[in-house]
Amino acid sequence: MATSRSSPFLDPEVIKYMEDFNQLVMKEALQGGTDRKAKVIDFHIPQELEKIMKLDIGSEPETTDKMLEHCKRIIKYSVKTGHPHFYNQLYSGLEPYSLTGTWLTDALNTNIHTYEVAPVFVLIEKYLMEKMSSKIGFPDGEGIFCPGGSFSNLMAVHLARFRKCGPEIANTGLWGMPKMRLYQSDEAHYSLKKAGLFLGIGMDNVIPIATDDKGRVKADALDAQIQKDKAAGYIPLIYMATSGSTVLGCFDDLNAVADVCSKHKVWMHTDAAWGGGVLLSDKYKHLMSGVDRGDSVAWNLHKMANVPVQASAFVVKETGLLQKGNGLNAEYLFQPDKPYDTSYDIGDRSVQCGRRADAVKVWMQWKALGDSGMGERVERAYENADYFTRRLRESEGFRLVLSEFQCTNICFWYIPPCLRGKEETPEWWAKVGKVAPLIKAKMMKEGTMMIGYQPLTPKKFVNFFRIIIHNPLCDFSDMDLTVSEIKRLGDALTAEDF
């Protein structure tokens, strides 16, 4: 006969394992991972790393000592994104409180679809959504955490379509409907195109609108495009405004956008996945002035607010629309005869069934830091970014991609000595385009630093560096070090490298 098993968490060997594990994580992932003297990355090509990692799962159980060794290896070869010299896209920094929030979420391992199984977490998510709605300026707003900003943007298109076409679209689909069009600036995130791909609207019907020299959408061009499409029989569905574009950090003029959207009754969604953090700061929230005139917002707290990945809020102005647009009232899950107000069963507001309680880590951090602490971090990032930009302006060989930056991603080329003082022909620019990848490869090999780079083909820009500054540990000395590190690695390049 089977004997009843006691909890593994009472087993002395497991207890020892968990204690050793905690110490290991504290020492090597957290303290080691934020130590300026330690490497950001211990890079190996996939074929090498595969061998190092001993991935093969055997038929016999592994000992706890061996399991600790695996954990140690996982930590050693993972990138230390909390390190003050990790400037890759688009998250960095790590706060102890949000981290414990994540751990709590997993330790209690629940699912935020019903109040029944997640009473505390449902209340936390509802509270946070009210708080974020009020920061945005939606007095009756509500929302949910989504698995990523791309998903939030997709939800915005879905709700815009539902509001425009009603249950007809929900039940019979696109058949027989006029063609629809989605709009974004040519600086905006590619996820709107994915929404077109995924929702059957078609990527050809996602129309990019031209931007000005600061990367803001030209509102008159948007107006003209919508008029033209209306005349051709299309339904203009949504404009996805950008607050903090992923590459250049541009903010659309949301009031100008809102004027066009309200004129044509087009849903205005603001993609603030990256720049939404400015709403936490009295000094910088003006960058999103007019957001309250829109219909929905995507705001990733795992980016500018340093919460662990993922923490993507999708907030809607109109109460009840998430439920109407997504709710199917599955009988096995959302029974109406529960002993509490079942409007707290928030799971049907999503297209997901089960959903992680991402709100917990956000609430833990916000609670611990207060509004002031959350805002200070954003302001500190801007101070560092302003200082860094000044340093680039006065240092030989650096060239800014825009004359001014609105966000804390700063984009620049480095022209090494071997390419300076030459005529700037297309061939010369092609060589400049090789500089960032060459320097980054050296950085990764030495493990000193990580900074992203990319070309920007619509603007005909060859590869340039894009540094993302929002780790709260960063100070001016880190900014100085970044300038000197790029110089050090770049100045070692010779004509033969090109």
Ligand X SMILES: *Cc1c(COP(=O)(O)O)cnc(C)c1O
Applying CB under 6 A, which residues contact ligand X?
A: 90, 148-150, 189, 191, 242, 245-246, 271, 273-274, 300, 310, 312
Nearer to ligand X, 274 or 382 (CB): 274
Nearer to ligand X, 229 or 252 (CB): 252
The residue whose Cβ lies closest to ligand X is: 149
Nearer to ligand X, 288 or 418 (CB): 288
Encoding tokens for residue 473?
């540990």
Q: How far is the CB of 310 from ligand X (least distance, A)?
A: 6
Nearer to ligand X, 310 or 350 (CB): 310
Q: How far is the CB of 285 from ligand X (least distance, A)?
A: 17
Nearer to ligand X, 133 or 243 (CB): 243
Kindly report the backbone phi and psi dihedral angles of residue 339, in degrees, each rounded to the nearest multiple of 5, phi listed first: -80, 35
Q: How far is the CB of 240 from ligand X (least distance, A)?
A: 9
Nearer to ligand X, 114 or 184 (CB): 184
- Distance CA(391)–CA(482), nearest Å, equals 10
Bridge partners for 241 per DSSP: 270
Q: Which residue has the tokens 């003209």?
A: 224
Encoding tokens for residue 243?
């607050």
Nearer to ligand X, 410 or 493 (CB): 410
Question: In sequence order, which residues have a C-beta less than 8 Å from that of residue 424 and are 6 or more positions away?
Answer: none
Q: How far is the CB of 50 from ligand X (least distance, A)?
A: 26
Nearer to ligand X, 189 or 431 (CB): 189
Nearer to ligand X, 102 or 312 (CB): 312
Nearer to ligand X, 174 or 309 (CB): 309
Q: How far is the CB of 149 from ligand X (least distance, A)?
A: 3
Q: How far is the CB of 247 from ligand X (least distance, A)?
A: 9
Q: How far is the CB of 122 from ligand X (least distance, A)?
A: 22
Q: How far is the CB of 148 from ligand X (least distance, A)?
A: 3
Q: How far is the CB of 278 from ligand X (least distance, A)?
A: 13
Q: Taking the alpha carbons of 7, 8, 11, 12 in that order, is the dihedral positive or negative?
A: negative
Q: How far is the CB of 237 from ligand X (least distance, A)?
A: 18
Nearer to ligand X, 312 or 482 (CB): 312
Q: How far is the CB of 277 from ligand X (least distance, A)?
A: 11
Encoding tokens for residue 2?
């089977």
